[in-house]
Structure 1
Amino acid sequence: MEKEPHRVPEATVKGNATGLFMMALFTMIWAGIAYGGLHGTAYALLLFIFPLLSIYFIVKGVALFRIAKNFPKLTDEEDIAEEKRRGKWFGIVFGAEGLGIFIGINIVVNLGHPELTIPVIALVVGLHFYPMGKIFKRTIDYYLATWSTIIAVCGIVFTLKKLMPANSILAFLGVGLAIATSCYGLNMAKRAANLLSV
């Protein structure tokens, strides 16, 4: 008797792998920002967890790409259309995030507050998770969107009210957003583990 083919399509496996690579990159970027704020302090050593997680995400992503060929290609017209729709909206949201970051930076710089650059980037990143939740039908996106947005708004308030030194705000934002991208990556890695065990 012939074994029933995997229900998960190849495109989903590759998409998960790509997501893991992206979370590895963004986790390192935010950890780098945190390191910039904590540099020269003993707390900087605590950031070692983020590079380790990034390496873990890359290893899982590579493993997924290697096994992707064992999964079926999309053949159902409805599934192909849905995959195209998701890809299109992902591209739109990703493009809007880049545009939002560009506009946000220009606004704060022209208003004479260049110190708000990183908090505004964090805010746009946080907000972009909301439509991602709808596109990919994932609840975790809404939690991470709310977490990241709160961190960003706090960073803006701390900066404007001068409630914390600039380095501490960088550390706060960097760690907060690195936690968000790490949680996202861990969620993807959990799904990757399920796929690798099939």
Structure 2
Amino acid sequence: MQGWWGVPLLLVTAFIIGIALFIGGVLLILASRELKNQLSKADLKRGKSKRFWFNIIFVAEVGAIVITVAICNTTRHSELTPLIIAIMRGVHFPPFSHLFQVRLYYFTDTLLCLLAIRTLLFVPEKVTLGEYQINVFMSVVGFGSALIL
């Protein structure tokens, strides 16, 4: 949203969300102190292997996103950036599903990819509301991804 009331509203919203996330993180850290650390050597070995593959997948995803943003900006199609990133975020779930043995991630992958593709095909890029212009691609993919995740 543009205009004199868009920026303060955005800053207040971001600040409130940041405070809520910070408080939630502190509460989780405090609660985790009460957990007992009882792992076998086999569990430790599996954990190291999972961390290794998690890091490989994560680095590949971040690299792909950086390259995609650069290509979108170079070709002057930055409006496609949120859609492509949503597809990449969706595509990274199958390796995690296999790694962590969580079948729900396949469903998450499908929903994120469908959201991005349907947004590209059926939603206008921008909408004008009065004198304000709204980036609909960013809004639909952003809120949709948040709901899916």
Verify same fold: TM over 0.5.
yes
Contact 1:105/1:117 (8 A) holds in 2: yes
CA distance in 1 between partners of 2:137 and 2:92 (Å): 21
CA distance in 1 between partners of 2:116 and 2:103 (Å): 20
Identify the match of residue 86 of structure 1 among 50, 55, 75.
Answer: 50
CA distance in 2 between partners of 1:179 and 1:169 (Å): 15
CA distance in 1 between partners of 2:72 and 2:89 (Å): 16
Answer yes or no: is 1:165 the counterpart of 2:129.
Answer: no
Alpha-carbon distance change, 138 to 58 in structure 1, aligned in 2, over 3 angstroms:
farther
Answer yes or no: is 1:98 the counterpart of 2:39.
Answer: no
Give the letter for the 1:133 counterpart: S
For residue 114 of structure 1, what is the aligned residue in structure 2? Answer: 78
Higher helix proportion (structure 1 or 2)? 1
- Contiguous gaps of at least 5 residues in structure 2: 127-134
Identify the match of residue 174 of structure 1 among 133, 138, 142.
Answer: 142
For residue 114 of structure 2, what is the aligned residue in structure 1? Answer: 150
TM-score by length of 2: 0.71
Answer yes or no: is 1:130 the counterpart of 2:94.
Answer: yes
Deviation at 1:129, TM superposition (A): 1.9
Output one character per residue of 1:112-142: Cα deviation in whole Å (capped at 9) or x when no partner. Answer: 4222112111111121222121111112222
Contact 1:74/1:80 (8 A) holds in 2: no
Alpha-carbon distance change, 114 to 165 in structure 1, aligned in 2, over 3 angstroms:
closer
Output one character per residue of 1:64-92: Cα deviation in whole Å (capped at 9) or x when no partner. Answer: 32132332324411000111111111111
For residue 139 of structure 1, what is the aligned residue in structure 2? Answer: 103
Alpha-carbon distance change, 70 to 118 in structure 1, aligned in 2, over 3 angstroms:
same
Output one character per residue of 1:148-183: Cα deviation in whole Å (capped at 9) or x when no partner. Answer: 11112223335xxxx5132222221111111123xx
Output one character per residue of 1:2-27: Cα deviation in whole Å (capped at 9) or x when no partner. Answer: xxxxxxxxxxxxxxxxxxxxxxxxxx
Give the letter for the 1:100 counterpart: A
Any idea what SS the aligned residue of 1:70 has?
coil
Query: How many correspondences in the alignment?
Result: 133
Give the letter for the 1:114 counterpart: S
Answer yes or no: is 1:62 the counterpart of 2:22.
Answer: no
TM-score by length of 1: 0.56
For residue 20 of structure 1, what is the aligned residue in structure 2? Answer: none
Deviation at 1:95, TM superposition (A): 1.0
Report sequence identity in percent.
25
Give the letter for the 2:36 counterpart: P
